[in-house]
């Protein structure tokens, strides 16, 4: 039918068709060149210290800073070509957005002055030279770090908890939490303290777990990840129960070592900040969790994460030092694991003086196992690597 063909008898339509074809070709070329340009961009944290007093519209300031360093030659002309093509191909009365630049600003922090942006190498150098910029930190992957710790430290389990302890909120930055665990039953708990400003995202909280959020700025998930604060690894659940889990009687490991499992402050409330996924834990997400925890009003922060290798960053390049510093300024105590990279010297991954570093050096138990040789003889050995003398 005639509707299947384009009427090119009109010179105006011929010009429009010609422009449209040309723009389609240019668009394909420019999209390819833009994709190569975008591949050169990496994610960075731009840290600027404290917010000046009375400072408002911070995201607008951060956007302005990012736009001032962007290399527009990589997308300016191409953005306009694509925009004009969209005008020609848009339905009647519909107009596309006139935003030419890519979304380089990913996140603005609120408890301190800083933001996350995707920048090229040259843009990063320009950003480092801007007034007010303390440091520009490349986003990188971190990993999880991990008995009867409280008995070893001499914390009795049958002491009556005070109302002060019951108002304590422990924030755990980790791989999430498994709320069905008996360690997080809310029987006997009251409402969250009035100071609490947090919330629960895609998660059902109770009076024990009063906050739960998750962070993944790059939007990349593994096939087994739960896009929620729910823990699919177990590490976060373990750390949360170690810090503030309820007493659970007759707990055991596959029937071994039966006893009562409990956290250091069982009457405390828990707030969960999930930053670790099957593909790792990114710096940008970890610092965003610090930011949220500070704003929410936690009293204590427990962080059992660290870099994959031994790294001794300057304090202004260390996301844990930055997060802990701003937490400390608001009266929040931070406990941070020292790492799993010992026992060689200089393997502690954090050394900022405003946080508590926690390291495993010795335990008060020995674990035995039977080893049967090929000749049938059985020997008993210690299986723990550090043995108390």
The partner residues of 211 in beta bridges, in order of sequence, read 271
pTM for the predicted model, two decimal places: 0.75
Q: Where in the chain is the domain with CATH 3.40.50.200?
A: 148-358
At the topology level of CATH, where does 148-358 sit?
A: Rossmann fold (3.40.50)
pLDDT at 321 over 50: yes
Q: Where in the chain is the domain with CATH 3.30.70.80?
A: 42-137
Task: Report the range of poorest mean pLDDT among 28-42, 253-267, 356-370, 373-387.
Answer: 28-42
pLDDT at 301 over 90: yes
Distance CA 379, CA 382 (A): 10
pLDDT digits (tens, 9 = 90+) for 89-140: 545 444 343 344 447 899 999 999 999 999 999 999 999 999 999 999 999 9
pLDDT at 373 over 80: yes
Q: What is the C-alpha radius of gyration for the chain, rounded to an integer number of angstroms?
A: 27
CATH of 42-137, one of 3.30.70.80, 3.40.1410.10, 3.40.50.720, 3.40.50.2300: 3.30.70.80
Nearest-10 Cα torsion for 260, 265, 270, 276: -70
pLDDT at 147 over 90: no
For the chain, give the mean pLDDT: 79
Q: Which residue has the higher pLDDT, 55 or 232?
A: 232
The partner residues of 368 in beta bridges, in order of sequence, read 382
pLDDT value for 136 = 97
225: cis peptide before it, omega within 30°?
no
For 358-362, what is the mean pLDDT? 65
């Amino acid at each position: 039918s005639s509707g299947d063909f384009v009427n090119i008898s009109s010179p105006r339509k011929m010009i429009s068709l010609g422009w449209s074809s040309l723009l389609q070709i240019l668009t394909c070329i420019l999209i390819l060149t833009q994709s190569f340009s975008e591949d050169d961009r990496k994610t960075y944290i731009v840290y600027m210290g404290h917010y000046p007093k009375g400072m408002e519209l911070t995201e607008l300031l951060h956007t302005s800073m990012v736009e001032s360093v962007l290399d527009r030659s990589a997308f300016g002309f191409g953005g306009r070509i694509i925009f004009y093509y969209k005008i020609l191909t848009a339905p009647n009365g519909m107009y596309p957005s006139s935003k030419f630049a890519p979304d380089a600003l990913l996140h603005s922090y609120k408890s301190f002055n800083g933001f996350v942006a995707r920048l090229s190498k040259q843009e990063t150098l320009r950003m480092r030279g801007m007034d007010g910029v303390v440091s520009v930190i490349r986003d990188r992957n971190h990993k999880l770090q991990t008995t009867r710790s409280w008995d070893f430290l001499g914390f009795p389990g049958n002491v009556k908890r005070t109302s002060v302890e019951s108002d304590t909120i422990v924030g755990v930055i980790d791989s999430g939490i498994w709320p069905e665990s008996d360690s997080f039953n809310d029987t006997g708990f009251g409402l969250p303290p009035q100071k609490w400003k947090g919330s629960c995202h895609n998660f059902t909280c109770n009076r024990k777990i009063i906050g739960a959020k998750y962070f993944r700025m790059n939007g990349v998930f593994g096939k087994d990840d739960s896009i929620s604060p729910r823990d699919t690894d177990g590490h976060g659940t373990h750390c949360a129960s170690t810090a503030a889990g309820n007493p659970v009687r007759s707990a055991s490991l596959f029937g071994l070592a039966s006893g009562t499992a409990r956290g250091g402050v069982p009457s405390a409330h828990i707030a969960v900040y999930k930053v670790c996924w099957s593909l790792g834990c990114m710096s940008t997400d970890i610092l965003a969790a610090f930011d949220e925890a500070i704003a929410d009003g936690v009293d204590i922060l427990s962080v059992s994460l660290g870099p994959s290798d031994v790294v001794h960053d300057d304090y202004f390049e260390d996301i844990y030092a930055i997060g802990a510093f701003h937490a400390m300024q608001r009266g929040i105590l931070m406990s941070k694991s020292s790492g799993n990279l010992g026992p060689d010297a200089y393997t502690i991954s954090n050394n900022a003086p405003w946080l508590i570093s926690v390291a495993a050096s010795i335990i008060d138990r020995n674990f035995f196992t039977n080893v049967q040789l090929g000749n049938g003889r059985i020997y008993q050995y210690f299986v723990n690597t550090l043995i108390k003398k």
